[in-house]
Structure 1
Amino acid sequence: MAPPTVVVSDVVPGRRVCEPVIFTVEGDLGGDLWLARTDAGDEVTCQRLASRSTPGRTAFAAVVTFEKRVDLTLTGPAGEPRGGQRYGIREGRTREPDAFVRLDTGYFDLEMCTGTAGGTGSSKWGLRHFGAVAEGVDLLPSGDNAIGGFYGPFFTPENGLINPPEHTTVDVEVVERGPVMHHYRMHGTVPDGLLDELKGKRFAIDWIFTYGTPYFTRVYHVDDFQTVVNGRSITNKITVGDEFEGGKGELLFDRFAAYGGTRYRAGDPYAEELVTMVAETMAAPRRGAAPKFEEFRRLLTGDMRSAHWDLYWRLFCAWEGALDDEEIRERLARVRAAAHVRADLPDRVWTLAGEPVEVSAVPDETIFPGPASKTAEFHTGTGRAMVWWTSAPSGAFQIVQRRQSGWVNWGTNGENECPELPVGVEIKTAYGMFRDTWADVADQLATPPQVTRDAR
């Protein structure tokens, strides 16, 4: 019998670099690693995928660099590395106390953390360090922010601002771990907030990294839910948030763009109303205040505008216990009502931008773009860019590029923390010097190569 051959073909123009390819062949093939040969004679390492193999069929993952088409012929099990050379993804020394793994994927240097449920930025689960190996710049140097958290519908005024990345921990299941692919699955339960319909909800997040690939993939799964946020019925939609930090006065990304043009409204009335309510709450007479309230009072004394943003929402967080649930409901209902009105006033005009948006130049250094499936944030000077593709569009986004603190955010929510990304959507996130080519990168993310069996 001739060795199995698969054909990898690409309809998108351009060269694919370390593109992950998953294929299945007949038979129960043992061994963790096999070798394949391309039609050009190059040797390719293939990792057997136990999670995707079934009786009588064996699945493999490989990464290939090609343009238009490449043929892969499976030749046999891989032997020991020649000359002691190691191929593939490597694990390194971790930095954070709650780190699960530090990876050098051959393209990315990243650290995945399980969180500590401490209620602060440094206690988040997700990717708390991330960068490109060649660039040598950590996009999350402090460990106080993270890529990959999800927030709405739990982190909403209606639910008492429960923050899953900060308020719970995750267990990490190793689905696949080899030189070609690492596949991890996070498992967690969201702490209960004010809304009964959101209590006891579990979630799982699949993360896939492949060797040398300039992007990674993730999918979020959450128990079914239906609730109301910002006056709208929300069924199985979430807010995914990716954060970046350049340090005070510095932005890692200073522009935002959506494929085909950006439709957005500038400013964040909700944040402004929340700040106002913090001041009112601090000034109100109060007997027998909770210790947590007194702690926040000390931290919020002085110039409130310069205080860390977390202090504003944490004061009204049901998990923190600074205020009782009834006061949280009453005060956040007023914030929500005022912000809801202000969001749709005639002076909140929609802007249709054909060019990338300089977010730090608009009010509140925040914009709320409309629906899109291909988006990017990039830096005009360095050329670095983060590119996102979602397999179904998010109905809205919140983009923040705050120069004063250096904090940048990409979130799949609309005004007043309303979640807009359907659960179960695949997210591919690329990073590199893609300022001028990000739309081409997004096209490649959206249309993976086709893999077929050679019928010859």
Structure 2
Amino acid sequence: MSVAAPSITVRIDAPLPGRRTSEPVFFTVPGHLAAPLRYARTAAGETVLLQRVDARSGAEATTFVAIVDIESSLTLTLGEAAPAEVATGIRMLEGRESDCFVRLETGAFDLELCSGKAEGLGSSKWGIRHFRGLKDGFELLPSGNNAIGGFYGPFFTPENGLINPPEHTKVEIEIVERGPLLHHYRMHGLIPDGLLDELKGKRFAIDWLFFHKAPFFQRKYTVDPFQTVINGRSVTNKITVGDEFEGGPGHLVFDRFAAYGGTRYRAGDPYAGLLVDMVRETVADSANTGPKFEEFRAELSDIEAAHWDLYWRLFCAWEEVLDESEIRERLARVRAAAHVKADLTERAWTITDAPVDVSATPHETIFPGPASKTVEYDSASGRAMVWWTSQPSGAFQIVQRRQSGWVNWGSNGENECPELPIGIDIKTAYGPFAKNWTEVADRLETPLVVHVD
């Protein structure tokens, strides 16, 4: 079937008031249009570049993506194929990390997507390991020792021996789409086995979409089906997605958190404190005499100054510092105590319409309740990261730790219990959005409406 492209018109409507700039829009037209790039024209005669989306196109229909500025409505008429040499858009730059798969300058962000090194360290994680906004020039991940986009629970839990997929796995990255307007990458990985039989042999895929000039990126996590029990609760096909940021000791890149419609949370992290207590006990009285344990014992001699990673790594089945029976016994005691402490009545729920100063709370940690639209922002500069999930996460863990400068957005509740359904869409926007973040979140949630004639 062949359709002359100029006979096709596409009407795009903005369902929300206000101007939307650099907004990606997908639409499908009948017929097989093979050219990778094509022009379209507005009613005013302006030229708009289209990129063919190969993965969504076939013999009977062709899908395109465009990046548009729109106030209320816009009509495009498809035109002729565009030569590749005229296209300007997303640029690929030289990476900084040894495991860099691609570094992109999207027109909004400079980011580096890495495949991981499986060394059990923060610097070996897959995900986005550098991220800089082009408008403010601010780098959210300067060291490359943290990452945006990792997922953790139910694998990184005391029940499963604290398997850390981003640190313990390398991923293969597939190029799904690569053009001036859209880069789409798909990560594939196998999660190392931990202690729970029902979580062994699980594979995952993560889709990442980056658009030219758009102030957000998009992702989706797919994991082999599973059902287990974490924190005494049945967990079926839910994960913890964790986005990390770093400002360096004494500096926070974000110092406030809020959820759309108000934040309901409990402050403090009893589990973390109990894990530290168990580290002290293990270092003092474990009968283990292996060389790796002695190495950890030496590094943990000044426990207050030790890096947090050393605490959980001591009990990690992948690290094999302790044998499985000792890991199970010690973490079972941590879990039992944490279950009690988490729900003591003195840990009251706070309900507020005001943004939360997380670093002023116990353990510089809060556990907010269900939400689909959330923000972390810096109160001085106004820079903000806004998240929208197509289904709400049942809970979150938000950390803004001023001493280390580490900030985290995680889709888990107390005691590492994962709460985000797999297979949903996540859109994440970055920019000077502190004052209007709810409007940004509404736009992430509400796509443009397309009619093809």
For the aligned pair, the TM-score class normalised by the smaller chain equals over 0.9
Q: 1:316 maps to which residue? A: 315
Moved more, 37-46 or 403-412: 37-46
Q: Secondary structure at the match of 1:106?
A: coil
Q: 1:349 maps to which residue? A: 348
2:150 is equivalent to residue 146 of structure 1: no
2:41 is equivalent to residue 40 of structure 1: no
Alignment partners' CA distance in 2, 1:140 and 1:88: 24
Give the letter for the 1:70 counterpart: L
Alpha-carbon distance, 1:13 to partner: 1.5
Residues 12-63 of structure 1 deviation map (CA, whole Å, 9 limit, x = unaligned): 1221111111111111112110001112322111011110002121111110
Q: Secondary structure at the match of 1:60?
A: strand
Q: 1:233 maps to which residue? A: 234
Alpha-carbon distance, 1:292 to partner: 1.7
Alignment partners' CA distance in 1, 2:183 and 2:291: 44
Give the letter for the 1:18 counterpart: S
Unpaired stretches in structure 1, ≥5 consecutive residues: none
Alpha-carbon distance, 1:123 to partner: 0.3
Alignment partners' CA distance in 2, 1:275 and 1:132: 36
Alignment partners' CA distance in 2, 1:356 and 1:99: 36
Match of 2:68 among 54, 57, 64: 64
Alignment partners' CA distance in 2, 1:416 and 1:285: 24
Alignment partners' CA distance in 1, 2:227 and 2:44: 53
Alignment partners' CA distance in 1, 2:442 and 2:83: 37
Q: 1:286 maps to which residue? A: 287
Q: 1:445 maps to which residue? A: 444
Give the letter for the 2:347 counterpart: R
Give the letter for the 1:301 counterpart: S
Alpha-carbon distance, 1:310 to partner: 0.5
2:14–2:70 contact (8 Å) kept in structure 1: no
Q: 2:244 maps to which residue? A: 243
Alignment partners' CA distance in 2, 1:439 and 1:305: 39
Alignment partners' CA distance in 1, 2:337 and 2:448: 49
Q: 2:424 maps to which residue? A: 425
Alpha-carbon distance, 1:438 to partner: 0.3
2:253–2:407 contact (8 Å) kept in structure 1: yes
Give the letter for the 2:290 counterpart: A
The 5 Å alignment of 1:25-424 reads: 25-79=29-83, 81=85, 86-286=87-287, 289-302=289-302, 304-424=303-423
2:37–2:84 contact (8 Å) kept in structure 1: no
Q: Secondary structure at the match of 1:111?
A: strand
Q: Secondary structure at the match of 2:54?
A: strand
Pair 1:285–1:6, CA change in 2 (3 A)? closer
Alpha-carbon distance, 1:150 to partner: 0.2
Match of 1:11 among 8, 11, 15: 15
Q: How many residues align?
A: 449
Alpha-carbon distance, 1:210 to partner: 0.7
2:266–2:348 contact (8 Å) kept in structure 1: yes
Alignment partners' CA distance in 2, 1:42 and 1:132: 28
Give the letter for the 1:350 counterpart: W
Alpha-carbon distance, 1:285 to partner: 4.9
Alignment partners' CA distance in 2, 1:356 and 1:388: 15
Alignment partners' CA distance in 2, 1:277 and 1:353: 34
Alignment partners' CA distance in 2, 1:429 and 1:38: 29
Give the letter for the 1:374 counterpart: K
Q: Secondary structure at the match of 1:128?
A: strand
Q: Secondary structure at the match of 2:136?
A: coil
Give the letter for the 1:222 counterpart: V
Alignment partners' CA distance in 2, 1:80 and 1:282: 62
Alignment partners' CA distance in 2, 1:40 and 1:220: 40
Pair 1:235–1:452, CA change in 2 (3 A)? same
Give the letter for the 1:403 counterpart: R
Alignment partners' CA distance in 2, 1:451 and 1:192: 45
Pair 1:230–1:80, CA change in 2 (3 A)? closer
Give the letter for the 1:415 counterpart: E
Moved more, 237-246 or 66-75: 66-75
Give the letter for the 1:175 counterpart: V
Alignment partners' CA distance in 2, 1:73 and 1:32: 17
Q: Secondary structure at the match of 2:83?
A: coil
Alignment partners' CA distance in 2, 1:249 and 1:335: 30
1:290–1:321 contact (8 Å) kept in structure 2: no
Alignment partners' CA distance in 2, 1:412 and 1:285: 33
Residues 345-392 of structure 1 deviation map (CA, whole Å, 9 limit, x = unaligned): 010100001100000000000000000000000000000000000000
Residues 98-121 of structure 1 deviation map (CA, whole Å, 9 limit, x = unaligned): 000000001110000000000000
Q: Secondary structure at the match of 1:318?
A: coil
Q: Secondary structure at the match of 1:328?
A: helix
Residues 262-289 of structure 1 deviation map (CA, whole Å, 9 limit, x = unaligned): 00000000000000000000000525x2
Residues 369-417 of structure 1 deviation map (CA, whole Å, 9 limit, x = unaligned): 0000000000000000000000000000000000000000000000000
Q: Which consecutive aligned stretches of 4+ in structure 1 deviate over 2 angstroms post-superposition? A: 79-82
